[in-house]
């Protein structure tokens, strides 16, 4: 079946409005002969004369009269769809965004982000989900709008990313721990009992690789999945935990933090989204808010 030429709807709408081939041609910037050919195609396609001569003008047939309002509505709606989006009105924006965030992100940046959102767009709501894996299917199917974390090798290449900030690993112990009153060396750091934050049982990470290179090994006394759990255990024991600094700033209140005595590379925390949301004005505004909230100038970093 031959697909209909939807441009003919625009032509018919103008012809019905003008009642003249010449005026319709002028309005659509066509020649009179081209407009006459278009009218002939319309008549053939619809099986109706549509416009018939009455003196010096054209008058619509009963079918054309019956369709005129519907055709005008279709053309108007199509033009609205193709028109650039109107300027975003944040005061009237009503929307719920779902963010899947890496461990510790909400605890450190969530309150500031909510305050910013509430001030600029009072009808916008944020829904936070904990990130338990790096699967990108939720971004792809629209279940979540934005994600934060380290962009690994397994991240889908179709996703858009933007760096939010750099983070570094630090050591954390309770106040009064022996490490809080002495110079910390690689040996004294490695000799303590440690908590390892990992979702993979038995996994040894970057810290262990660096220690191994200098002939040291740490004893992992406990494995946990999250920063909050790790810090709760550390706060009430002599255990040592190694965590990203900015991600855990608020969670470490009242504890002793120290720079690692070994060289470790920094990590980049980014936001990720699906490319179909690139041009969405509200989504773009949310990304800008998150970028500003996470800016180093808005976050104190402890030494």
Q: What is the pLDDT of residues 10-39, one digit of tens each?
A: 998 888 888 888 888 888 899 989 989 998
Check residue 2 and give its pLDDT.
64
Q: How confident is the model at residue 239 (pLDDT cuts 50, 70, 90)?
A: very high
Task: Give the three-class secondary structure for 74.
Answer: helix
Q: How confident is the model at residue 153 (pLDDT cuts 50, 70, 90)?
A: low
- Mean pLDDT of the 141-163 span: 84
Check residue 302 and give its pLDDT.
41
- Mean pLDDT of the 217-236 span: 93
Task: Report how far residue 149's alpha carbon sits from residue 269's, in angstroms, rounded to the nearest whole number.
Answer: 5
Domains in the chain: ranges and CATH: 7-82 (1.10.10.10), 95-167+268-298 (3.40.190.10), 169-265 (3.40.190.10)
DSSP letters for 174-230: ETT-GGGGS---HHHHHHSEEEEE-SSTT---HHHHHHHHTT---EEEEEES-HHHH
Lowest model confidence (mean pLDDT) among 16-25, 277-286, 287-296: 16-25
Count of CA atoms in the C-beta half-sphere (13 A) of 47: 0
Task: Report how far residue 97's alpha carbon sits from residue 127's, in angstroms, rounded to the nearest whole number.
Answer: 6
Q: How confident is the model at residue 300 (pLDDT cuts 50, 70, 90)?
A: very low
- Helix intervals (H) in the chain: 7-18, 21-27, 32-46, 62-82, 105, 111-120, 137-140, 186-191, 206-213, 227-235, 281-293
- Mean pLDDT of the 175-189 span: 94
Q: Is the pTM of this model over 0.85?
A: no
Task: Report how far residue 174's alpha carbon sits from residue 232's, in angstroms, rounded to the nearest whole number.
Answer: 10
Check residue 295 and give its pLDDT.
84
Q: Check whether 4 has a pLDDT greater than 80.
A: no
Q: Check whether 303 has a pLDDT greater than 50.
A: no
**Per the structure block, which two tokens stand in for 287?**
């990304």
- Mean pLDDT of the 244-250 span: 91
- Cβ-based neighbours of 62, under 8 Å, separated by 6 or more: none
Q: Are 219 and 193 in contact (CB under 8 A)?
A: yes
Lowest model confidence (mean pLDDT) among 45-49, 136-140, 244-248: 136-140
**Per the structure block, which two tokens stand in for 217?**
């090994």
């Amino acid at each position: 079946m031959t697909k209909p030429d939807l441009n003919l709807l625009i032509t018919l709408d103008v012809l019905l409005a003008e009642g003249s081939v010449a005026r319709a041609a002028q309005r659509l910037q066509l020649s009179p002969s081209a407009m006459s050919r278009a009218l002939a195609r319309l008549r053939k396609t619809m099986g109706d004369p549509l416009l018939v001569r009455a003196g010096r003008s054209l008058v619509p047939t009963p079918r054309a009269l019956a369709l005129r309002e519907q055709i005008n509505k279709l053309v108007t709606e199509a033009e609205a769809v193709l028109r650039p989006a109107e300027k975003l009105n944040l005061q009237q924006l009503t929307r719920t965004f779902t963010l899947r965030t890496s461990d510790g992100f909400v605890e450190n940046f969530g309150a500031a982000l909510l305050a910013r959102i509430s001030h600029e767009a009072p009808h916008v709501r944020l829904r936070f989900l904990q990130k338990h894996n790096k699967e990108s299917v939720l971004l792809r199917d629209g279940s979540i709008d934005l994600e934060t974390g380290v962009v690994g090798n397994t991240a889908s290449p179709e996703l858009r990313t933007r760096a939010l900030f750099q983070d570094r690993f630090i050591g954390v112990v309770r106040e009064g721990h022996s490490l809080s009153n002495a110079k910390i060396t690689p040996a004294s750091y490695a000799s303590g009992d440690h908590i390892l934050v990992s979702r993979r049982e038995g996994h040894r990470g970057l810290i262990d690789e660096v220690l191994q290179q200098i002939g040291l090994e740490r004893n992992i006394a406990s494995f946990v999945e999250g920063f909050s759990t790790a810090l709760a255990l550390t706060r009430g024991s002599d255990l040592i935990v190694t965590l990203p600094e900015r991600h855990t700033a608020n969670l470490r209140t009242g504890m002793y933090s120290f720079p690692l005595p070994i060289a470790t590379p920094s990590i980049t925390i980014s936001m990720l989204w699906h490319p179909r949301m690139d041009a969405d004005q509200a989504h773009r505004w949310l990304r800008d808010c998150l970028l500003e909230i996470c800016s180093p100038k808005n976050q104190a970093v402890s030494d």
